[in-house]
Amino acid sequence: MSGPQHSSELRDADLRPAPISLSDIGAALRFGFDQFRSIPLLSMGFALLFVAIGLALFTALEFGEIAPMSLSLAGGFMLVGPILLAGFFAVSDKLRHGRHAVFSDIWEGFRRMPRGGWVVSFVCGLLFLIWITDAGILYGFMVGSEPIGFLRLLNIEAMVVNYAAWSAIMGAVLAFILFTVSAFSIPLIYDGRAQLVSGVVASARAVFGRFGVVMCWALVLAGVIMLSVLVLPLLLATLPVMAYASREFYFRVFPLERS
């Protein structure tokens, strides 16, 4: 009895967030940039796939003259972002251990993701579909069939501003729920340190237990990625940098070695 109980106590302690401060955010960002700088071509090569998808979507929005929906897509990217992390995790871990990373490591990262991680990713995708559907309904009410391309979008018309504001409020609620559930559960599950339920509980515990610092991290992450989605070439660098930084921030919240 004492052996399993002791193991359970160790696992519970392992899933309790460590004290963190704003300096950990800066350190994580520097770490992410350093890793990106060490393998820029591989990092940008993987990010290029999502830049191409974004370009295709924005082209469709321009052709359909519904450019303001690009604001919703930029916000929605944060909902599906956790799905991409496994590939970057594998690359980051290779570099962390002083080994050379190659493109096949990206696939290996997705391959080794446990089932629980894919369940969380499925929830991310489902919330993205809900978000885009709600944003489309809101667009129909607030903008309607008025044709608006990207050039006209630069005029910053009142109806577009109102649409962006209300859609941001709607999206913020979904984004907060998803961030709470997935921010730390996916890396914990990926590393085999938690199962689905225990990972989600640990993630929520970290978000609410270290609320100020974690929310600052969430705002930095969301701001950088959403701006980069709207200015797509930036995503080639910012997506891998923030993915590698997320890995480091996770290790600061849930260190591998406990005293």
pLDDT tens digits along 156-176:
778 888 888 888 887 788 888
Residues 211-220: contacts with CB within 8 Å, 24+ apart? 213/20, 213/21, 213/22, 213/24, 213/25, 214/20, 214/183, 214/253, 216/22, 216/25, 217/25, 217/28, 217/249, 218/179, 218/183, 220/25, 220/29
pLDDT at residue 9 tops 60: no
Q: What pLDDT does 172 receive?
A: 82
pLDDT, the chain, mean = 86
Q: Give the C-alpha separation, 212 to 76, whole Å.
A: 23
Residue type, 158: A
pLDDT tens column, 234-254: 999 999 999 999 999 999 999
Q: Considering only CA atoms, which of 73, 17, 68 is closest in space to residue 50? A: 73
Q: What pLDDT does 13 receive?
A: 56
Residue type, 9: E
Global confidence as pTM: 0.86
pLDDT at residue 1 tops 90: no
Which residues are 148's β-sheet partners? 66
